[in-house]
Amino acid sequence: MELSVLNKEGKETGRKVTLSDQIFGVEPNDHAIYLDVKQYMANQRQGTSKSKERGEISGSTRKIKKQKGTGGARAGSIKSPTFRGGGTIFGPRPRNYDFKLNKKVKHLARKSALTYKATENSILVLEDFNLEAPKTREIVAIRTNLQIADKKSLFVLPVENNSIYLSSRNLKDVSVVTASELNTYQILNAKTIVILEGSVSKIEEAFKL
């Protein structure tokens, strides 16, 4: 698949980039995508929810009423879950939601996601650029020139660039990621993927398996 390289003004530079069919033209595997996105979402969970159970409630352990003759159910402690202020039954406990996923499955999922975007013509290749200082209006101008101002976009950089990251941080519809950290969730969550020219080889190197 060949794409024209665009400049920051949104015009063709005359150069073309060939996207590898081994990454942008594979047979999509929806189950691999599901597993990779599920792992990503699970990793975002803190797993710190906690409620006090019966043994953790502070209070007297005195039997609050006699066993028989009251006409009501027997009760042995004020900490019983049946009373207001008592312990919680089967409440949440701190836990880790992470689970293992093979590297080959992750790579297949990301290749499948990139293939879907390539099929939808949702990938643009932008020539490498740098910003002397963080300026949000620079990123806004680039998105306007590329005609993606109203679309959720993901910029894929070859290496970390603090100026570009800070310039896009205030834009809710813009995300920035390096080629080596590109993941399935980000690919699918974006309407348009803007790949910098230098990132193409980095993506191929990262997903060569």
**pLDDT for position 190:** 93
Task: Give the number of residues written for the chain.
Answer: 209
**pLDDT for position 71:** 92
- Residues 209 and 206: their CA atoms lie apart, in Å, by 8
- Residues 173 and 169: their CA atoms lie apart, in Å, by 10
**pLDDT for position 192:** 93
Nearest to 31 by CA among 98, 102, 99, 112: 112
**pLDDT for position 92:** 92
Structural domains in the chain plus CATH codes: 2-45+100-206 (3.40.1370.10), 51-96 (no CATH)
**Low-confidence residues of the chain: pLDDT under 70:** 209
Model pTM score:
0.81
**pLDDT for position 194:** 94
